Amino acid sequence: MPDIRQTQSGYRYSLDPFLLSDFVPPGAYSRVADLGTGNGILPRLLAKKIPAAAFMGFDIQHEPLTHAVENCAGLGRALFVRADICEAASLVRPGSFDLAVSNPPYRKAGAGRLNPSSAKAVARHELALTLEQLVSAAFHLLKERGVFCVVHLAERSAELLHLLAQNGFAPQSVRFVYSREGGNAFVVLVSAVKGGKNPVNVLPPMLVYGADGEYSPEMRRIYGAFDA
């Protein structure tokens, strides 16, 4: 596992950034936007997969960004901006990126109990950024035929796909992730192309754990690929 500095009281990453980084399709990406970068885990992981790319991470919270700067200092090609994602459109020229990634807040405002920590609440609930605003920002920042990759709750997959299509994206690949065989999917991975035309490719489901309760071979491969 990579050595990642992160806040003790705020957002702390889980396995989802690893799933998303592995899911990003191969491509000659030169500029990558991370929308809601937190502690910079996605740029740190993707730098191994896309060694020639420059990264720009946006987040509204100050403390996680200080860790993002530290976590990605060794890359020499990552810039972090404290900004509302909705305002990123005014900070960066439209069409500046060929890949955008996001591990956004999963829960709608008012859905479930808010964490008493304001930092965790913003990271988990759509208090500062809705899913629709996220998709709109990604469309603005990406060039034509640019790729947007996102991980979200499986239960919101229909909403996500609808918003992507409504905002000018063509979903390219969809993959549901399950904890174990026989259970319900807990997250969905989606890649979409700005102005794309191709039909969506629904990939085989992924299992995090095997029947023995240990990580599945695929999950071990993913962690191994991004180790260090």
Confidence band, pLDDT 50/70/90 cuts, at residue 125: very low
E strands, 93-168, in order: 97-102, 142-153
Against a cut of 0.85, is the pTM above it? Answer: yes
Mean confidence (pLDDT) of the chain:
87
Q: What is the pLDDT of residues 108-121, one digit of tens each?
A: 655 556 554 555 54
pLDDT band at 216 (very low <50, low <70, confident <90, very high): very high
Are 79 and 57 a contacting pair, CB within 8 Å? yes
Is the pLDDT reported for residue 218 higher than 90?
yes
Give residue 148's pLDDT.
99
Lowest mean pLDDT among 4-13, 118-127, 139-148: 118-127
pLDDT of residue 12: 53
**CATH architecture classification, 16-225:** 3-Layer(aba) Sandwich (3.40)
- CA angle 142/145/146 to nearest 5° reads 35
- Residue 107: pLDDT band (50, 70, 90) is low
Tell me the pLDDT tens digit for each residue of 160-198.
Answer: 999 999 999 999 999 999 999 999 999 999 999 999 998
Half-sphere exposure of 97 (CA within 13 A, CB side): 26
* Per-residue model confidence as pLDDT tens digits over 25-80: 999 999 999 999 989 999 999 999 999 999 999 998 888 889 999 989 888 899 99
Does position 11 have pLDDT exceeding 70, yes or no?
Answer: no
End-to-end CA distance of the chain: 6
Q: Tokens 């020499």 map to which residue?
A: 76
| CA–CA gap between residue 181 and residue 78 (Å, rounded) | 38
Quick check: 99 pLDDT over 80?
yes
Give residue 96's pLDDT.
96
